[in-house]
C-alpha cells in the first residue's frame, strides 16, 4: 500500500517562501517544536530579511496563499521601512500579523523590526527537512535570545526546555 502524504501544518507557506527565494527563519513556538521540544503552538512566527525586495517577495508569497493582514492596512505597506518604523514608534507594534482568509485559524506573525540582526541569525540557522521541505529555523542560541527579549511566561518555559535540550545534546556529543 503506498504511503499517504500527511500535510504538515504551514507546509504551503514553507514551500512557497522557498520557491520565491524569501530569506526567512522560523522563530517562536514552531521553531521550538522543530528543534524537538513537544509543545502546543498555533501561529507561525517568522523573522525575515526586511530589505524591500525580500519583503515584497514575502508579501507576494503570503498573498498567493490567501493570507491577508489582520490590521486594516494595505499589505504592501509592510515592505516600506518608514511605515514599519512608524508602526513601531507610534503603535508599539512588534509583529505584523496575517491570517489565512480561507482558514482563519492559520496565522503568521512577522517581526516589524528584527530585535536581533537578521543576517547573523540567518547564517547560524539550522535547516530541518520535513516531508521533503527545507525549513530554516533560528539556532538554539538565537531562539533563546529572542525568547529572553519577549519575556512572556511561555517564553521562559521555552528557554528552560531549550536549555535542557542543549544539555542532552551536549551529553550525547560527549559520549561519542
Asked if the structure places residue 170 within a domain, the reply is: no
Asked if the structure places residue 90 within a domain, the reply is: yes
pLDDT at 123: 98
Chain-centroid distance of CA 40 in Å reads 15
Banded model confidence at residue 66, pLDDT cuts 50, 70, 90: very high
Which of 167, 173, 154 minimizes the C-alpha distance to 31? 154
Each residue of 89-135: pLDDT tens digit?
A: 999 999 999 999 988 888 999 999 999 999 999 999 999 998 889 99
Each residue of 67-77: pLDDT tens digit?
A: 999 988 899 99
Cell 498567493 found at: 64
Q: Among the residues of the chain, which ranges form H helices?
A: 11-19, 28-35, 52-64, 81-91, 118-124, 140-150, 153-174
- Domain enclosing residue 108, as ranges: 11-139
Each residue of 143-156: pLDDT tens digit?
A: 989 988 887 888 77
Task: Give how many domains the chain has, as a whole number.
Answer: 1
What CATH number is associated with residue 106? Answer: 3.30.460.40
- Dist CA 112 CA 140 (whole Å): 22
Check whether 137 has a pLDDT greater than 90: yes
Amino acid at each position: 500500500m503506498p504511503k499517504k502524504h500527511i500535510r504538515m501544518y504551514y507546509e504551503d507557506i514553507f514551500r512557497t517562501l522557498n520557491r520565491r527565494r524569501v530569506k526567512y527563519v522560523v522563530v517562536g513556538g514552531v521553531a521550538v517544536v522543530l528543534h524537538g521540544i513537544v509543545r502546543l503552538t498555533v501561529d507561525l512566527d517568522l523573522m525575515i530579511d526586511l530589505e524591500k525586495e525580500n519583503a515584497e517577495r514575502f508579501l507576494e508569497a503570503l498573498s498567493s496563499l490567501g493570507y491577508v493582514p489582520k490590521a486594516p492596512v494595505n499589505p504592501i505597506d509592510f515592505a516600506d521601512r518608514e511605515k514599519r518604523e512608524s508602526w513601531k514608534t507610534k503603535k508599539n507594534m512588534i509583529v505584523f500579523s496575517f491570517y489565512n482568509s480561507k482558514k482563519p485559524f492559520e496565522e503568521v506573525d512577522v517581526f516589524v523590526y528584527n530585535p536581533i540582526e537578521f543576517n547573523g541569525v540567518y547564517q547560524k540557522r539550522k535547516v530541518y527537512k520535513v516531508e521533503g521541505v527545507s525549513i530554516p529555523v533560528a539556532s538554539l542560541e538565537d531562539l533563546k535570545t529572542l525568547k529572553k527579549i519577549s519575556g512572556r511566561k511561555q517564553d521562559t518555559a521555552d528557554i528552560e526546555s531549550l536549555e535542557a535540550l542543549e544539555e542532552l545534546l551536549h551529553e550525547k556529543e560527549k559520549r561519542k
